[in-house]
Amino acid sequence: MATKSILTALTLSLLMGPVDSLLAEEAELLPAPQAIVIEQVIIQQAEPVAEKAAVAQKAEQKADAKPADKATGEEAEKKKEADEAELRKQMRELELQLQQKRTQFQEQVNKERQQAEQKGRQALKDIKLPRNPTRTQVEDYIAALRKATEGRRSFSSSDPAVDKLKKVPAEHFDLLMTEMSNRTTLRYYANYAIREIDPEEIRKKIVASFPDNPNSIGVIVMHGWCEDVRPHIVEHIKSADSSLSIAWFQAAVEIDEPSLYPKLHEVTIGSRYASQFITMLKTLPEYDLSHTINTCWERASTGKLSVSTSSFAHAAAQRGNVDALGVLISQIQRTSSYMVSSSAYNANRVNVLGLIDHRGSNKDLQAWFKANKDELVFDELRGRFVLPEGF
């Protein structure tokens, strides 16, 4: 009966676990009232299936309480096999029923979602913006669009909601900036709308509203307006903690303010975006990039950075880090393949050959590095690792 206990327990686990998981997933995607209704539906659908498994478990427990069967030998073994086969059959039937309930539940969710979207699209057509609207009328207009697009899961720049948002007068575009920073469905359409508008029409408005709406930094960076808000960028970076978003980091790099260099270094050596930040820092002629790259390498090597050393290997090797060169060479073989296409390309091998004068097969390069690692010196003028006699 031990096998039967295990199978019964697995049945109950199979029945209840996926339903809860699926319910939790869908509940996050649907408004609270709708999620409650669906929760009641799926519970009602799952109860009969769970009840059957519970009955099977109780029957098993009752059988365990009876005196041991006197049958011995082959008869006992056959009875055991028959019991297990019957329970497996019941499990298959229960799994099939549960799958049917899941399918019904998903179909119901899809149906209700489609109905909600159709209702929202119809409501969208009825939303009109008055001519020469006041600030309050624009706010009400955006709020109505927000409600009409609520719950959508597919987005397109050609959606009617985008055209609706493009009708917002330029003097009120800061409301679209605010919407983009909110966790609403409409933020995706606001993003599309702003992209299609002549940026010079809204430049003064966005720049003027930037102190009160710093979330528009993405638009500032996208259009190259960082110098327009330079003082605010400097103030924000200096007061920031050890983390920065990519947009704010790019803004700091674009204004190239030397007083921010220490902060940029601090942020880079602790960020999961370190590779992207290093690429940006390369544009600063006076920045000590070697110091930042080597620090990132050391921190990654000791597990203090959530990025692997391979992310910095090429950049570190370009600045004379012989261990980084070793990582690049070790990666050559792992990235090789038996592709016969004329488009086959081994980027790691190209990177390595740009740092050394030695040539040969992948195996030859590995052997050469192993034999000469301790003797290699870095020629900064040529940007290559060489042996002393060639330096």
Q: Would you state the structure tokens that stand for residue 314, as one six-digit string?
A: 């090429």
CB 177 within 8 A of CB 209: yes
Pairing of strands 377-379, 384-386: antiparallel
Residues whose CB is less than 8 angstroms from the CB of residue 287 and which lie 6 or more positions away in sequence, other chains included? 261, 264, 281
CB 192 within 8 A of CB 157: yes
125-168 tens-digit pLDDT? 889 999 999 999 999 999 999 988 887 777 788 888 899 999 99
Nearest-angstrom CA–CA distance, 237 and 57? 63
Q: Which of 170, 229, 166, 159 is nearest to 205 (CA)?
A: 170
pLDDT at 354 over 50: yes
Residues whose CB is less than 8 angstroms from the CB of residue 269 and which lie 6 or more positions away in sequence, other chains included? 292, 295, 296, 299, 305
Q: Which of 167, 161, 162, 166 is nearest to 124 (CA)?
A: 161
Nearest-angstrom CA–CA distance, 385 and 322? 8
Nearest-angstrom CA–CA distance, 207 and 174? 10
Q: Which of 65-69, 193-197, 203-207, 256-260 has the lowest mean pLDDT?
A: 65-69
Domain range list for the chain: 2-67+75-126, 129-223, 225-311
Percent of the chain with pLDDT over 90: 38
Percent of the chain with pLDDT over 70: 78
Nearest-angstrom CA–CA distance, 42 and 34? 12
Model confidence at 191, pLDDT cuts 50, 70, 90, reads confident
Residues whose CB is less than 8 angstroms from the CB of residue 185 and which lie 6 or more positions away in sequence, other chains included? 146, 149, 150, 151, 152
Give the chain's mean pLDDT. 81
* pLDDT for the residue 343: 74
* pLDDT for the residue 59: 59
SS (H, E, C) 261-307: HHHHHHHHCCCCCHHHHHHHHCCCCCCCHHHHHHHHHHHHHCCCCCC
Nearest-angstrom CA–CA distance, 214 and 67? 77
CB 166 within 8 A of CB 142: no
Which helix (H) or strand (E) element contains residue 93?
Answer: helix 73-126
pTM: 0.58
Q: What is the mean pLDDT of residues 29-44?
A: 50
pLDDT: which is higher, 373 or 151: 373
* pLDDT for the residue 391: 62
Q: Which of 151, 119, 112, 118 is nearest to 30 (CA)?
A: 151
CB 145 within 8 A of CB 164: yes
Q: What is the mean pLDDT of residues 180-193?
A: 85
pLDDT: which is higher, 209 or 366: 366
Torsion of CA 299, 304, 306, 309, to 10 degrees: 30
* pLDDT for the residue 10: 46
Q: Would you state the structure tokens that stand for residue 215, as one six-digit string?
A: 């979330």
Model confidence at 375, pLDDT cuts 50, 70, 90, reads very high
Model confidence at 57, pLDDT cuts 50, 70, 90, reads low
58-98 tens-digit pLDDT? 655 655 555 555 557 788 888 888 888 888 888 888 888 88
CB 298 within 8 A of CB 267: no
Model confidence at 31, pLDDT cuts 50, 70, 90, reads very low
* pLDDT for the residue 171: 81
pLDDT at 8 over 70: no
266-302 tens-digit pLDDT? 999 999 899 899 999 999 999 999 999 999 999 988 8
Model confidence at 194, pLDDT cuts 50, 70, 90, reads confident
